[in-house]
Amino acid sequence: MDFPRTKKGRRALSAVAVATGLVLTVAGCGGSSDGQSDKGAAASPAPARSSGGTGQKQSQAPQTQTDAALAEVKGENGLTLTVTSAKRDNGGFVTVEGTVTNNTGTLWVAADWRGDERELASNGGSIAGASLIDQKGKKKYLILRDTSGRCLCTQFTGGVKAGASAQWFAQFPAPPEGTDTVDFQVGAMPPASVELSQG
């Protein structure tokens, strides 16, 4: 066995491995001639494109948030009703959705929102007494019900605590196709004029 030759071979391989590692490291750290990395150079045009219309983009963001509400009405000692959606569905009905916020200072149980009809009494605290009014066609549409008299709407089980909000929905027969705007009305709340959209 010739140990000195083996040691010399190992040193040569080690030197080649170290040199190769250094070359790869330097190549990986390289960038463009102006001192920016390739990643930074590719990303830099995005702010440049948006800088011309910065004011316009900033004004669009708040509009999107406010456009989420189709209508908002206040009444009944601090109660706020917001309508966020009113869509025609293929089945010949309209689904209206929104939120109710209780700023009355006490628990709100929706007692006068359930409607005066005896059939609706079994719905408890709900939005069963809501209606859509077609001013153009001079018609009032009552909430849809199933065969047992239950409304196709939200029931506020347990009420809504003071300072809290709750989501709701209600379904109605659809007005004729020519009717694009209706008034949503429930309880003693003022009517909320909403525009119908296609679902």
The neighbour count for residue 125, using CB atoms within 10 Å, is: 19
- CB 183, CB 191: distance < 8 Å: yes
Confidence of residue 5 (pLDDT cuts 50, 70, 90): low
| pLDDT tens digits, one per residue of 75-98 | 868 999 999 999 999 889 999 999
User: Mean pLDDT over residues 54-72, rounded?
Assistant: 51
- Within this chain, do residues 101 and 135 fall inside the same structural domain, yes or no? yes
- Within this chain, do residues 48 and 138 fall inside the same structural domain, yes or no? no
pLDDT of 21 strictly over 70: no
The neighbour count for residue 136, using CB atoms within 10 Å, is: 13
C-alpha distances (whole Å) from 13 to each of 19, 22, 23, 162, 199 are: 10, 14, 15, 78, 71
Domain range for residue 33? Answer: 3-64
The neighbour count for residue 193, using CB atoms within 10 Å, is: 15
- Within this chain, do residues 141 and 185 fall inside the same structural domain, yes or no? yes
- Within this chain, do residues 89 and 142 fall inside the same structural domain, yes or no? yes
Portion of the chain with pLDDT greater than 70, in percent: 65
- Within this chain, do residues 52 and 72 fall inside the same structural domain, yes or no? no
| pLDDT tens digits, one per residue of 162-173 | 999 999 999 999
Confidence of residue 115 (pLDDT cuts 50, 70, 90): confident
Spatial distance between the Cα atoms of 51 and 46, rounded to a whole number of angstroms: 9
pLDDT of 119 strictly over 70: yes
Q: What are phi and psi of 197, to 5 degrees?
A: -120, 165
Please give the structure tokens belonging to residue 172.
């109605």
Q: What are phi and psi of 57, to 5 degrees?
A: -65, -35
CATH number at residue 172: 2.60.40
Distance of CA 34 to the CA centre of its chain: 44
- Within this chain, do residues 78 and 152 fall inside the same structural domain, yes or no? yes
- 189 DSSP 8-state letter: S
- Of 15, 34, 64, the last residue of a domain is 64
User: Mean pLDDT over residues 158-186, rounded?
Assistant: 94
Number of independent structural domains in the chain: 2
- Within this chain, do residues 28 and 79 fall inside the same structural domain, yes or no? no
Q: Is the pTM of this model over 0.75?
A: no
